[in-house]
Structure 1
Amino acid sequence: MLYKLDMPSLSIVMPSMNEEETIRICIEKAQSIFKKYSIEGEIIIADNSSDRTAEIAASMGAKVIGPIKGYGNAYLKGLAEAKGDYIAIADADNTYDLLELDKFLDPLMAGDADFIMGTRLKGDIKKGAMPWLHQYIGNPFLTGMLNLLFGTKISDAHCGMRAFTKEALEKMDLKTHGMELASEMIIEAAKCGLRIKEVPITYYSRRTPSKLRSFQDGWRHIRFMMLYRPLPFLFLPGAVVFVLGALITGSLLLTGNVAENRLHSFILGCMLLILGGQMISTGGYLKTYGLIRGMYPNDKGNTAKWLNYHSLEKELFAGSIILIAGILLGLKVVYTWISSGYGSLSEVKSAVISMVFAFIGLQMIFSAIVLSVMLLEVDTDW
């Protein structure tokens, strides 16, 4: 469809995969919105179907691109083609009623918001439309986590019906290729300071089986949020666990209370030391990957400083010292055992400390190696 220069325009982007039963009604509803607002519009179908979905959509005047595999990929390709002043997105399975787009367009056109989210949880969820696990556990949990980490105040982070201005889209740096694009879009909108508004909508049941995978897709969203915020997910909990382990272990060693009745506490403290070190290292991996992906544009200087080559050399050196200390302590235990004629030996304390030192030292060495390899192609001298 051609645009008139004196009229605003609307692009509606819908990903589709084998939606031949519903694609026609979705396009008809979209076209009725164009007429209602007397607005020039285009419908973009990002398709990966093996049925007649693409054929039906093209016959009704929609622009079909594809095949495109992946939910996020479909939206990235579709949004790249969108030329409208306003852009709306929704699934092509008719679970979202495109006739309700007026709730989204009115505040956008009035300049009251930059980004409009639909909310099913404050709207009307028809019977059988959403599994109870999603409605009462999964969606509220993931939405609450996103609100806590990124300072948003939304009720339904995974609602797929949204609308925003062209300018808002250009500000959001969308990159992800899977289901986590739904979370990334909100995170980017919040980071860019876009005015976000929610509107209640009706959610209908699908005619065909759902393509969602509850636990796999939920984990993808959590993993993505961990990548954006490794500090509260891993660094801080890891530091707390590590310090707690150090306090338990250190207090027992200093007071000489590593006797038979306190041995379990001593082992617990050592386990916490190892677990805390592992969590901190994993947080470092995530932070580095996020840096490489350009996910911290406002934190490049501070992040790069502690990840530069010289800092990694220091970690390698410190890890080697701790590893050597563990090995020497272990050799002392072996020497004591040999000196006793290979008989019974009561060196549990030294053996456990040796193991902890060796593990933490190796962990630091491996972390230094992995991080340096990840940063080989990155200029950290920003």
Structure 2
Amino acid sequence: MTDSTDIELTLLMPCLNEALTLPSCLAECQEIIDRLGVSAEILIADNGSTDGSQAIAAAAGARVVPVTQRGYGHALNTGIQSARGRYVIMADADGSYDFRECGPMLDALRAGADIAMGNRFAGGIQPGAMPWKNRYIGNPVLSFLGRLFFKIPTRDFHCGLRGGSKAALTGLDLRTGGMEFASEMVIKASLSGLKMVETPVSLRPDGRDRPPHLRPWRDGWRHLRFMLLFSPRWLFLLPGLALLAAGLTGFATLLRGPLDLGGVVLDVHTLLYAAAAILCGFQAVAFAVISKVFVHEAGLAPGSRDENSPPPFAGFTLERGIVAAVALGALGLGLSIEAVLQWSQTSFGELSPTRILRWVVPGVTCMVLSLQVALAGFFVDMMRLRLRR
């Protein structure tokens, strides 16, 4: 038996009741090991199989690691942590990927790549291997967003045949337990500046006699949600800034009086919508800040587990937020008092709405913003608390 210190490659498969397809996957793993002449191990991260998959794997000479927590991410993460090889190449145990195609991945890793991704669109997708909604909607859209949000070079964001050096993979501190694990790996690799390459691989119909664990719409949404969480700039910050700019432009224009646009007159009714844009825009920007802080404090961002790593928005403190909130509240109160004083000039009788609302609308807007700033500040400060468990 090869000493663990001499193992260069670990071929890793997550497994949950794959007795039907596991033997052929194990045979393909052994074939590529023999062909490459590499010192390697076959590792099965078993997620609680009840069909004898563990015995099949052990009989074929594979090492089985039990994973008590259910989930694709839990299985792969445990497998990566347990791997003895310098490099880890992984794929499902359902027969949809051919481990015999992983030679170029190993070559890329040996040449200095940190992460090696397969590309099914370059290697070929057999008929019936991928649902149309995955092939033409899910994968292209998510891969495009991955390149847009995170500058990920791969064009097949969720290819299941992938690998990396164990040092790089463990250094990413991967934490998700479900299908989001596939997104987390490449997102963190890109944000960490790791070298990522892509090699062609094929996809064939899986050999299961039951529906796959993957649920396209549900799992696609989970991937998208995870990507948006990691990129609050696109989900919250940019839309929020656009709304703030539109609202402030409306305020600057309409507070002085009505605006005549070739027969179309914008007045205090439009001013109300401008106020709504300011409030919604600020809320979106606040959520961008909260999301960034949450990702850091939850240990999901690269380097966030390093105690010496500076937190995002380090210059923001609760006390400064309270000062800003008090200033906005005072401004809103002053504008409201001025509105009341103008009302008193008519002995608290009727007032022209177009006159009084130019004081009331900004006054109310400032007071609501004051509360939003204070609440956001308290919430951010709450997330930053380091609790001893």
Question: Does residue 44 of structure 1 match 2:44?
Answer: yes
Q: Contact between 2:233 and 2:288, CA under 8 Å: does it hold in 1? A: yes
Superposition pairs for residues 4-153 of structure 1, below 5 Å? 7-38=6-37, 39-62=39-62, 63-109=64-110, 111=111, 113-153=113-153
Structure 2 distance, partners of 1:321, 1:371, is 23
Q: 1:364 aligns with which of 368, 373, 377?
A: 373
Superposition pairs for residues 170-319 of structure 1, below 5 Å? 170-206=170-206, 207=208, 208-257=210-259, 261-263=265-267, 264-294=269-299, 295=301, 297=303, 300-301=309-310, 303-318=312-327
Structure 1 distance, partners of 2:4, 2:55, is 27
Q: 1:51 to 1:261 in 2, by over 3 A?
A: farther
Number of aligned residue pairs: give it: 376
| Aligned-residue offset at 1:49 | 3.1
Q: Contact between 2:328 and 2:366, CA under 8 Å: does it hold in 1? A: no
For 2:79, the aligned partner's letter is G
DSSP 3-state at the match of 2:124: strand
Structure 1 distance, partners of 2:225, 2:341, is 43
| Aligned-residue offset at 1:367 | 0.6
Indicate the larger mover: 368-377 or 232-241. Answer: 232-241
Structure 2 distance, partners of 1:139, 1:251, is 45
Residues 334-378 of structure 1: CA deviation (Å, up to 9, x unaligned):
98999338x997755555445433432221121112112112228
Question: Does residue 375 of structure 1 match 2:378?
Answer: no
Q: Contact between 1:158 and 1:183, CA under 8 Å: does it hold in 2? A: yes
Q: Contact between 2:118 and 2:200, CA under 8 Å: does it hold in 1? A: yes
Indicate the larger mover: 277-286 or 163-172. Answer: 163-172
**Structural RMSD (CA):** 3.3
For 1:177, the aligned partner's letter is G
Q: 1:220 to 1:150 in 2, by over 3 A?
A: same
Question: Does residue 3 of structure 1 match 2:3?
Answer: yes
Indicate the larger mover: 154-163 or 301-310. Answer: 301-310
Q: Contact between 1:118 and 1:159, CA under 8 Å: does it hold in 2? A: yes
Structure 2 distance, partners of 1:221, 1:53, is 28
Structure 2 distance, partners of 1:270, 1:307, is 25
Residues 73-104 of structure 1: CA deviation (Å, up to 9, x unaligned):
11111111001122111011111111212232
Residues 151-187 of structure 1: CA deviation (Å, up to 9, x unaligned):
2221101111112223332433322222222122112
Q: 1:370 to 1:184 in 2, by over 3 A?
A: same
Structure 1 distance, partners of 2:151, 2:241, is 23
In structure 2, runs of 5+ residues without a counterpart are: none
Residues 128-161 of structure 1: CA deviation (Å, up to 9, x unaligned):
2212222122211211221122222211011111
Residues 247-280 of structure 1: CA deviation (Å, up to 9, x unaligned):
0122011234499942453233222112211111
Q: 1:377 to 1:323 in 2, by over 3 A?
A: farther
Residues 211-259 of structure 1: CA deviation (Å, up to 9, x unaligned):
2233332333333333333234322331222011110122011234499
In structure 1, runs of 5+ residues without a counterpart are: none
Structure 1 distance, partners of 2:381, 2:122, is 48
Structure 1 distance, partners of 2:26, 2:346, is 80
Structure 2 distance, partners of 1:377, 1:305, is 15
For 2:22, the aligned partner's letter is I
Structure 1 distance, partners of 2:327, 2:49, is 55
Q: 1:331 to 1:99 in 2, by over 3 A?
A: farther
Structure 1 distance, partners of 2:237, 2:278, is 14
The percent of aligned pairs where both chains have the same amino acid is: 30
Structure 1 distance, partners of 2:311, 2:256, is 37
Indicate the larger mover: 68-77 or 219-228. Answer: 219-228
Structure 2 distance, partners of 1:23, 1:272, is 56
Q: 1:107 to 1:256 in 2, by over 3 A?
A: closer
Indicate the larger mover: 218-227 or 122-131. Answer: 218-227
Indicate the larger mover: 75-84 or 147-156. Answer: 147-156
Structure 1 distance, partners of 2:67, 2:346, is 70
| Aligned-residue offset at 1:324 | 4.0
Structure 2 distance, partners of 1:127, 1:331, is 73
